[in-house]
């Protein structure tokens, strides 16, 4: 994968195996731009969080430590199964969402993993969202007086 450091757009190359061509020991097949960057390149990471052997795009904002993951699911759809709440802690200052009749929550999009989205203006309407994404917080602790 090659990530543009300014736009975050990501081009995918498949390893076609060992071949002595053009000064390289391996042949790489260009599959084109497969990810549209949501942030600058250094903020994007591509772990296999979904456990399906696919690169899931994860953005971590260095100023807020807030992260978002876009799961790379099957393009034909329908085989993801039921979305289960992993029981993550609610970030400080967040209402937690997920309330209301259908579990969709207020403007934060709820915690049901669906397409409820969220427009964050506090009016309770939300928006239609943009698919299967999830957010997370990264906590760090600094020990100022370590044990001796």
Q: Which two tokens stand for residue 135?
A: 């957010």
pLDDT value of position 70: 82
Kindly list the domain boundaries of the chain, sorted by start residue.
Answer: 2-70
Alpha-carbon span 32 to 131, nearest angstrom: 23
Residue 129: pLDDT over 60: no
Rounded alpha-carbon distances, angstroms, from residue 77 to 31, 81, 111, 112: 21, 10, 21, 18
pLDDT-based confidence at 139, cuts 50/70/90? Answer: low
pLDDT, tens digit, for every residue of 30-57?
888 877 777 777 888 888 887 778 888 8
* Residues making up the chain, counted from first to last: 148
pLDDT-based confidence at 96, cuts 50/70/90? Answer: low
Give exposure, 80-94, as e/b (b: 16+ Cβ within 10 Å). eeeeeeeeeeeeeee
User: pTM for the whole thing?
Assistant: 0.43
Alpha-carbon span 148 to 142, nearest angstrom: 16
């Amino acid at each position: 994968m090659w990530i543009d450091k300014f736009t975050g757009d990501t081009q995918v190359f498949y390893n076609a195996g060992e071949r002595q061509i053009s000064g390289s020991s391996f042949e790489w097949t260009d599959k084109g731009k497969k990810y549209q960057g949501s942030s600058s390149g250094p903020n994007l990471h591509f772990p296999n969080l979904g456990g399906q052997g696919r690169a899931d795009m994860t953005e971590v904002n260095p100023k807020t430590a807030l992260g978002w993951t876009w799961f790379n699911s099957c393009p034909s759809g329908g085989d993801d199964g039921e979305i289960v709440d992993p029981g993550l802690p609610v970030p400080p200052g967040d209402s937690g969402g997920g309330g209301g009749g259908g579990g969709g929550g207020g403007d934060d999009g709820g915690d049901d993993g669906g397409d409820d989205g969220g427009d964050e203006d506090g009016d309770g309407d939300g928006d239609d969202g943009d698919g299967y994404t999830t957010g997370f917080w990264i906590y760090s602790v600094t020990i100022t007086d370590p044990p001796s």
